[in-house]
């Protein structure tokens, strides 16, 4: 049975995914800049991700996600995006704080909870849930 990725490795996968979506592939320098770490720190993570079959990595070459790596990165990035949107749109948290909180929450969220959370977001965005979402937003904005 394969071990779950650490939150740090998930962050690297997400960064590679976002860079690869924009640029076609990623370089160590781009990953380091995106994550605000030194290039030397990136190398160890890339070796771990490569050993797990999540990226194609050769030193000094472009880095690309494997199919397995892309699937995992999409999973992490989707969780991040949904949580961030909830914090911003429903809880009325500013963008920076919402992004930071989403990054912390995305890693430990059990799949069952994520599935129910996704259903809640769909409901709040539906015509039936819109009134409840508006009432919640008004109440939260009055507390600030």
Local confidence pLDDT in tens for the 144 residues of the chain: 356 889 999 999 999 999 999 999 999 999 999 999 999 999 999 999 999 999 999 998 999 999 999 999 999 999 999 999 999 988 889 999 999 999 999 888 888 999 999 999 999 989 999 899 888 888 887 765
Name 76's Cβ contacts closer than 8 Å, sequence gap at least 6.
10, 13, 14, 17, 106, 107
CB burial of residue 63 (10 Å; 0-12, 13-18, 19+): buried
Which residue has 């963008």 as its token pair? 95
What global pTM score does this model have? 0.84
CB burial of residue 95 (10 Å; 0-12, 13-18, 19+): exposed
In the prediction, which pLDDT does 108 show?
A: 84
In the prediction, which pLDDT does 115 show?
A: 93
CA 116 – CA 121 distance, rounded (Å): 9
């Amino acid at each position: 049975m394969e071990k779950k990725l650490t939150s740090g490795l998930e962050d690297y996968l997400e960064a590679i995914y976002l860079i690869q979506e924009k640029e076609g592939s990623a370089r160590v320098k781009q990953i380091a800049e995106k994550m605000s770490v030194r290039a030397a720190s990136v190398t160890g993570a890339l070796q771990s991700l490569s050993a797990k079959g999540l990226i194609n990595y050769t030193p000094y070459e472009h880095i690309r996600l494997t199919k397995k790596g892309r699937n995992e990165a999409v999973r992490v990035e989707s969780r991040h995006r949904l949580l961030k949107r909830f914090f911003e749109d429903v809880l009325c948290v500013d963008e920076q704080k919402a992004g930071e909180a989403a990054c912390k929450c995305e890693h430990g969220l059990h799949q069952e909870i994520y599935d129910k959370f996704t259903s809640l977001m769909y409901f709040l965005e539906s015509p039936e849930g819109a009134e409840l979402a508006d009432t919640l937003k008004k109440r939260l904005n009055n507390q600030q």
